Amino acid sequence: MVVPRRNDSIGNPGLDLPMVRTLNLTKRFGRLTAVDNLNLEIYPGEIFGFLGPNGAGKTTTIRILTGLLKPTSGQALVGGYNIQEEPERAKKNIGLVPERPFIYQKLTGDEFLNFVADIYEVPLEMKKRRIPELLSLFEISEWKDILIEEYSHGMQRKLVMASVLLHNPKVIFLDEPLVGLDPKAARLVKKIFLELSQRKVTIFMSTHTLEIAEKLCHRIGIIKEGRLIAMGTNEELRRKAEREVEIPEGISLEDIFLQLTGGSEYKELLEYLE
């Protein structure tokens, strides 16, 4: 498999091992199969978009890959380490921004970042340098001594993003990363993603904001009812959609997504209502 890339800094499978790999990954909740024999290989420097309808299994997959859930069967490897068999080694490579992050509300922003840095054993000198830099980067320096419970939702998202970057993870998992951010902060985060990609950090991003996925991601995987139904570049997904039904040139990722997931009838209805 050759990884499509926008620049030469993204790993070549012939030279680099996958940073994220799943082997027949399956998760069942009773009779419900949330993730069904999922096989992925994501390489260093790749920005990978993981798309799907609500309830498709995106968040469940991220929780398994970050060690928050145990799979029913199959394997999940991050940085070459099995997340179940060697969780500490795997998690040292990981940064996670969940859709609903938990933050200790009775800590100040500065205390929270120091707490996270200590968990990841960030060296003292690096911690002293990185925390002020990240607070400044996300424009929350003046709030560093204020309790987090006083922060707006967007400010808390910025603080979580800063905490993820503290220990220089090799793989960052993001579940709806731009939710709650104002346009300026969202643009900053997108620039950070691109810069991290240049540094061969792997970004695994689940989002419903298809425009973001279309502009940023090197490859996109589409999951439906727990099964991976399509994966590739925008152009490869377009060709797959074309094989299933005749579609016009220049259509957006949203149109392709709706075609592949069976949601195109809703788009037609909305167009009729207009």
pLDDT score for 248: 53
Give the percent of the chain with pLDDT over 90.
65
- Please enumerate in sequence order all residues whose Cβ is within 8 A of that of 101, keeping only pairs 6 or more positions apart, or say none: 156, 157, 160
pLDDT score for 246: 53
pLDDT score for 100: 82
Q: What is the pLDDT of residues 138-182, one digit of tens each?
A: 999 999 999 999 999 899 999 999 999 999 999 999 998 888 788
Q: Is the pLDDT of residue 113 over 70?
A: yes
pLDDT score for 236: 84
Q: How confident is the model at residue 102 (pLDDT cuts 50, 70, 90)?
A: confident
The answer to whether residues 75 and 67 touch, using CB atoms and an 8 Å cutoff, is: no
The answer to whether residues 59 and 175 touch, using CB atoms and an 8 Å cutoff, is: yes
CA 119 to chain centre: 22
Q: Taking residues 70-98, what's their average pLDDT?
A: 95
Which range scores top for mean pLDDT: 159-163, 182-186, 212-216, 269-273?
159-163
DSSP sequence for 204-238 = EEE-S-HHHHHHH-SEEEEEETTEEEEEE-HHHHH
pLDDT score for 116: 95
pLDDT score for 244: 59
Q: What is the pLDDT of residues 36-63, one digit of tens each?
A: 999 999 999 999 999 988 889 999 999 9
List, edge to edge, every strand of the sheet that includes 94-97.
Answer: 94-97, 171-175, 202-206, 47-51, 219-224, 227-232
Report the distance separating Cα 59 and Cα 62, nearest Å: 5
Q: Taking residues 205-216, what's their average pLDDT?
A: 84
Full-model pTM:
0.84
Q: Is the pLDDT of residue 126 over 60?
A: yes
Give the mean pLDDT of the chain: 86
- Please enumerate in sequence order all residues whose Cβ is within 8 A of that of 215, keeping only pairs 6 or more positions apart, or say none: 190
Q: Is the pLDDT of residue 241 over 60?
A: yes
pLDDT score for 182: 86
Pairing of strands 227-232, 219-224: antiparallel
**Token digits for 133?**
């830099």
For domain 20-93+169-273, the CATH class is alpha beta
Q: Taking residues 55-84, what's their average pLDDT?
A: 95
**Reduced to 3 states, what is the DSSP secondary structure of residue 18?**
coil
- Please enumerate in sequence order all residues whose Cβ is within 8 A of that of 251, keeping only pairs 6 or more positions apart, or say none: 238
Low-confidence winner among 21-35, 114-128, 214-228, 252-266 (lowest mean pLDDT): 252-266
Query: Where do runs of H (alpha helix) occur along the chain?
Result: 58-65, 87-91, 109-119, 124-137, 153-165, 183-198, 210-216, 234-244, 253-261, 264-273
Domain ranges (residues) in the chain: 20-93+169-273
pLDDT score for 272: 41
pLDDT score for 94: 96
33 burial (CB, 10 Å; 0-12 / 13-18 / 19+) is middle
